[in-house]
Chains A and B, each alone.
Chain A
Amino acid sequence: MRTCLEIRNVTKEFPGVLANDHVNLQLRDGEIHAILGENGAGKSTLMKIIYGLYQADSGSVSLYGQEMHFTSPRQAIQAGIGMVHQHFMLIPALTAAENIVLGGEPGKVHYRRKENEEMVRQLSKQYHLEIDPSVKVSDLTVGLQQRVEILKVFYRKAKVLILDEPTALLTPQEVEELIGVMERLRLQGIPIIFISHKLDEVKKVSDRVTVMRAGRTVATVETNQTTPQELANLMVGREVVLQVAKPPQEPGSVVLRVDGLVVVQGHAERVKGVTFEVRRGEIFGLAGIDGNGQFELVEAITGLLPAKSGRIVFKGRDITKTSVHRRTAAGISYIPQDRQADGLILDFQLAENFVLRDFTRPPFAKAGQLQMGAITHHAERLSESFDVRPRRIHSLAGNLSGGNQQKVILAREVSRDPELLIAAQPTRGLDVGAIQFIHDKLLDLRREGKAVLLVSLELEEIMSLSDRIGVIHDGRLMAILPGGHVTREQLGLLMTGVNPEKEG
């Protein structure tokens, strides 16, 4: 079998992050090759390099033995690389046929509606991807939109099909149909790269699997000669767990109770009936792969997203319909995962950001007037005790480094003396020192008898800090396990939707 696409020693570094570290990959003609890895493992960086959106710092990409140097997606498309992005590149106001031929319309001036639609119909028959070419894309289901995307790729005579997390937005039935499509395409000899973090799908559809972890390709294996267990191990790795001094401690009364919570965003149900409790003096870790509803769950608890059904009870009071403002005042602190988009106003001064959640309350405001003295004092105190650098409380938050920005948010949320702290990805993108600092603060809160709900995509973090661990998959809690005795393999399987107890 010929080698179609070959990646050799590709390395790509962003400021402070080695996104791809000597990545190697061989795609053979007529195979479905899965790339499996957690979020942040470097899968999408690699795909963007193949597609010409990023340029590699070193290493090579070759197509049928010829080395390629793409500087734009256009060149990649012309060379025969077809990519279906996780977020579709479609124009909802145009019809399926218009979307498919756009940029390569037959004929010179006149748009041949009838002919184009007929041609698309033929194309869709040829690849067994039935769609109605004359329907506007905005009127199609997500699954059908994906077909339009795939047809777009074949209309451009792609030699390779790359599917980037194609099942992320699909219903189970649509996933089944997609798998059928992929199998038919394999029969036609079209090589497919299939990017996923879902073990069961990878196992079901692929011929070979390349596992990525922390920017590296750790192994390529034949799918039928491996087990989900082995793949999970490869995915999550076996690095030394950060040692955290965590004295045992008896948790106290229940602070937060979430009961049968359902959250809908857009049209999709993202949280599908979740029930759990967080108690005083414990850190409850919520583990899961990105996109499984954990952040929608958190936003519903903080009041940023409405709950469709279910109840949220905080200190015995039902807060399901209470405003963000009230929930904050009642003693819920929240470190959002995207510090620049949600947690801070970058064009506000540090001092203003320090009171972002409490600026209406004394001592920071009296009778609607901001108390500059109190605000300044507060900012000075916090930036000193949390060591925010540079310590200029009147400079803009946007001028701080990421670590210091996170310290501002942490300082603000912790200093509010909350009953419950919700921390979503509190250490994302930070250096070791800053991570240590933030972990220490979370443990301090635990010691003080506060309740902490920690949501993280990093297993290490969850495992080293949590007293109890809930694993979320596809909007459902798979299990709640005691923190001390769980293995990363157990968690890894649960996170990918496999429940060993049920299946075993």
Chain B
Amino acid sequence: MFWHILSQPELWAATLAMATPLALPALGGTFSERSGVTNIAMEGIMLIGAFFGVYFAYLTNNAWLGLVGALVAGALISLIFAWITVSIGANQVVVGMGINIFAAGLTTFMLNTIFGYGGTPPSIPHLPNLNIPGLSRIPFVGPALGQQNVVVYIMLLLVLAGHYFLFHTNLGLRLRAVGENPQAADTAGLNVWNLRYLGVIIGGILSSLGGVYLSLGLLNSFEPNMSSGRGYIALAAMIFGKWTPLGSLGAALLFGFATALSIYLKGTPHVSTNIVQMLPYALTILALTGLVGRSTMPAADGTPYDPRK
């Protein structure tokens, strides 16, 4: 029976679809934390992206403009986050919490103020699914990989681009340097603050895109708290992926697979979906404690930089 489930292309299509809203914020978190700013605000920023995507798509009647608006909103909220944590030097976890509460309140408040209590109208344009010409005709692979939402493919490209950026460009080197040892980076002539702003804002944009995928890609509407904890699973994916883009994608795929499987197993006796859903969190703890391939965070992650010290 198990092999029967695994041979379903829909399971693999669902895995990729479920992994996308995890991989994007996980990639975003990777950028933020690689620059030295602990980011638990992905959950809130996803909500911002999800709502403003719908809102701008509604205003302009264009899903792509909705996407752009969402990314700008995500950049703005992370600018605030960066200002409080990087410039003022506040506790990054506390402020991240604040962003999450603030964003959940703000998006629902605006939803109710702008669209009333009946939810967003169904006429909102959404981001299309793509048919990759060659790919979609191949049996099994086609239905599994070839007919996904456009954001899924964007995500795959962004993960590759993110890997290139972090590990093969000068700027990526600098970003990692300030996350490891800001004092050394400072004496080497780097501007620690600017680089951390960059990391946080890239992180915000990517998390926001994850939210857009939920609202404009999957559902075509905004619902209160629709990120439903994905920002936190993304955090787990980032850690399990050892703070690297490819690792984050791998972890997101694993967790996405767990989610897809738990949907498939729903109603199956003797297999609990809840137990499957625990997997990401349990694996992350194992990774952090070194029981499964020790995962070490960037050395200066979470510490505000004070040049006088």
Contact = CB atoms under 8 A, between A and B. Distances in A.
Interface stretch (A96-104, A320-328, A375-383): A96-104
Residue with the highest number of chain A CB atoms closer than 10 Å, among B180, B181, B298: B181
Given A73-B187, A91-B185, A93-B299, A111 B180 contact: no
B168 interface: yes
Contacts of B180: 91-94
A90 B184 contact: yes
B183 A103 contact: no
9 contacts: A91-B177, A91-B180, A91-B181, A91-B185, A92-B180, A93-B299, A102-B174, A105-B173, A109-B169
Interface of B: 168-174, 176-177, 180-181, 183-190, 298-299
Nearest to B298: A93
Interface in A331-378: none
Contacts of B189: 73-74, 77, 103-104
Contacts of B177: 91, 94, 102
Given A102-B174, A108-B170, A109-B169, A91 B186 contact: no
Contacts of B172: 111
Given A89-B184, A90-B181, A102 B190 contact: yes
Interface in A57-110: 73-74, 77, 88-94, 98, 102-105, 107-110
A104 B187 CA distance: 12
A109 B185 contact: no
Interface in A296-329: none
Interface residues of A, number: 22
Nearest to A78: B189
Contacts of B173: 94, 98, 102, 105, 111
A152 B184 CA distance: 12
Nearest to B191: A74
Contacts of A90: 181, 184
Nearest 5 pairs of A and B residues by beta carbon: A103-B188, A89-B184, A103-B189, A105-B170, A91-B180
A73 B183 CA distance: 11
B183 A109 contact: no
Given A94-B173, A108-B170, 16 more contacts: A74-B189, A77-B187, A89-B188, A91-B177, A91-B181, A91-B185, A92-B180, A92-B181, A92-B299, A93-B298, A94-B176, A94-B180, A102-B174, A103-B174, A105-B173, A152-B188
A107 B185 contact: no
Nearest to B188: A103
A111 B171 CA distance: 8
A93 B187 contact: no
Contacts of A92: 180-181, 299
Given A77-B189, A94-B177, A111 B170 contact: yes
Nearest to A112: B170
A236 B180 CA distance: 41
B188 A102 contact: yes
Contacts of B171: 109
A107 B172 CA distance: 13
A187 to B, nearest CB: 28
A376 B190 CA distance: 52
A89 B184 CA distance: 5
A151 to B, nearest CB: 13
Contacts of A98: 173
Contacts of B176: 93-94
A152 B171 CA distance: 18
B74 to A, nearest CB: 24
A110 B188 contact: no
Contacts of B190: 102-103
Interface string A138-165: 0000000000000010000000000000
Contacts of A104: 188-189
B129 to A, nearest CB: 33
